[in-house]
Structure 1
Amino acid sequence: MNQILQVDGITGGYSLTRPVLHNVSFDVGPGEMIGMIGLNGAGKSTTIKHVLGVLQPHKGVIRVKGRTLREDPHQYRSAYTYVPENPLLYDELTVEEHLRFAAMAYGLDDAVYELRMWELAEQFRMRDKLGLLPGHLSKGMRQKVMIMSSFLVRPDLYVIDEPFLGLDPLGIRSLLDMLVERKAEGAGILLSSHILSTIEKYCDRFVVLHDGKVIAGGDLQSLRRQAGKPDAPLDDLFYDMVKGP
């Protein structure tokens, strides 16, 4: 099976002399949701920045749909969409203008945009907020704008960093339902989250990062075998892996 995302032996970070990541490898296949978990400072956001092409690895290779960023920047970037941990919105643009801007960036047809925009606004209960500026929105609503902008398009890969922060329970459920739908359509999803009890139910496999290294990986049963705890929930497995001496 051709993997959508391949991260092979990545060493990198913000300084050549003090890398954050050390030989990180994992992949995301079609129709898979991969949960990337770790403590604060473990390297999750740094890994995501390398996947997005914001940072270039010191060693190793990242491929999206079989291509590196250097080989084909347009094809690489058009194959994914990204939901950041902190909403990044323009103060002068309304909610609807943010959505239209995202649609233009990905070359979305006007008719398709209108259909998907209204569907997303209904799903996230934002129909009456489309004309508002970000200053009039709560943090959760701003996060919904980021999610809606990303889900307007149908890329091969979704990269999602701590998406549940600030969302109300209905917003969380709407997001999870959409992720399940995209998986069923064959998309790959890389999801970073601290809400282990939630992602345990939805992710197919997990990548456990600690001090910039992959210390465990696989599905829940595989992690249980590695920990020698056949019935433990993900929370307990993770705690045992990273608690230290």
Structure 2
Amino acid sequence: MVLSVQALDSGYRQTTVLKDINFEMKAGEIVGLIGLNGAGKSTLLKTILGLITPQKGQITIDGKSILDDHSQYAKHLAYIPETPVLYDELTLKDHLEMTALGYDIPMDEVMRRAEPLLKQFRLDKHLNWFPAYFSKGMKQKVMIICAFVTDADVLIIDEPFLGLDPLAMRHFTDLIRERAAAGSAILFTTHVLTIAESLCDYYLMLQAGELVATGDLESLQTQFNLPQADLETIYFAMTQTGGVASE
């Protein structure tokens, strides 16, 4: 397993947000983390990223936890947050250079990998631009490019389609499929359930900090006793019942 989350409790100070979370991801899998706002999705992603210390349980990537080697653990991960995080004093090219340094990848190799992505997202003429001149969608594209030029085994993506135009959304979903086909495990959250249904191998259904159902669409249909239902119907059933309908 590339990513393993076992018996995880996590939260903030004395507050436990996530309770007994267990799942694993194999190389090449695309997994959708689905739930209402406040269900604990971002808390789970931040805990995997090492931004929040677990209260209980263990997270490993390729069999090693963040406690074994923080630097190596971080290099196995790439993250695209819901809100782009860019440095005002750094150009687009500077952000790529910073990515190269952080992941120990030669800059010429990063630029070689970035070139088709820059053209695809129409940023190839903006390498010397500062973030102040970028729209939100352009900033999100910079985050996408910086993540996809790495060698990360696990990509963590939080609400990736916010701010993207339909063409960019299509390019991005194609990139996700290509990266998974190359062997990366990809975990992402989204409220665009039609895209999630078309992309994901399976789903983690999170409700009030607990995984109430996991599996592919057919498995979820069985667990919720909703034969032939699409992901959106299952999502609404989860939010109305607070759990699995068939239990």
TM-score of Structure 1 vs Structure 2, range by shorter chain: over 0.9
Instruction: Give the structure 2 partner of residue 217 of structure 1.
Output: 214
Task: Tell me how far apart the structure 2 counterparts of residues 68 and 15 of structure 1 sit (CA, whole Å).
Answer: 21
Pairwise CA distance, 1:174? 1.1
The unaligned stretches of length 5 or more in structure 1 are: none
Match of 2:50 among 49, 53, 66: 53
**What is the CA–CA distance in structure 2 between the aligned matches of 1:121 and 1:96, rounded to whole Å?**
11
Q: CA offsets per residue over residues 163-205 of structure 1, 9 Å max, x none?
A: 1000011111111111111111111001111111111011001
For 2:107 and 2:18, the matched residues in 1 are separated by 41
Instruction: Describe how 1:25-36 pairs up with structure 2 within 5 A.
Output: 25-36=22-33
Q: 1:110 aligns with which of 104, 107, 111?
A: 107
Q: Secondary structure at the match of 1:46?
A: helix
Which of 5, 8, 17 lines up with 1:7 in the alignment? Answer: 5
Percentage of pairs with the same residue: 41
1:126 aligns with 2:123: yes
Offset, 1:136: 0.6
Root-mean-square deviation over aligned CA pairs: 1.1
Aligned partner of 2:34 in structure 1 is 37
Q: In the alignment, residue 147 of structure 1 is paired with which amino acid?
A: I
Q: Which runs of 4+ in 1 moved over 4 A?
A: none
Q: Aligned to 2:16, what secondary structure does the other structure show?
A: coil
Which residue number corresponds to residue 150 of structure 2?
Answer: 153
The TM-score normalised by the length of structure 1 is 0.96
Alpha-carbon distance in 1 for matches of 2:84, 2:110: 21
Secondary structure of the 1:45 match is: helix
- Structure 1 residue 15: deviation in Å? 2.1
> CA offset at residue 154 of structure 1?
2.1
Which residue pairs with 1:199 in the alignment?
Answer: 196
Cα contact 2:97–2:107 (8 A) shared by 1: no
Q: How does 1:61-100 map to 2 (within 5 A)?
A: 61-100=58-97
Q: How far did residue 111 of structure 1 move?
A: 2.7
> Aligned AA for 2:5?
V
Q: Which runs of 5+ in 2 are unaligned?
A: 243-247
Shift of 1:116: 1.2
Q: How many residues align?
A: 242
Letter of the structure 1 residue corresponding to residue 96 of structure 2: L
Match of 1:190 in 2: 187
Structure 1 residue 92 displacement after superposition:
0.8
Which amino acid counterpart does residue 27 of structure 1 have in structure 2?
E
Q: Which residue of 1 aligns with 2:138?
A: 141
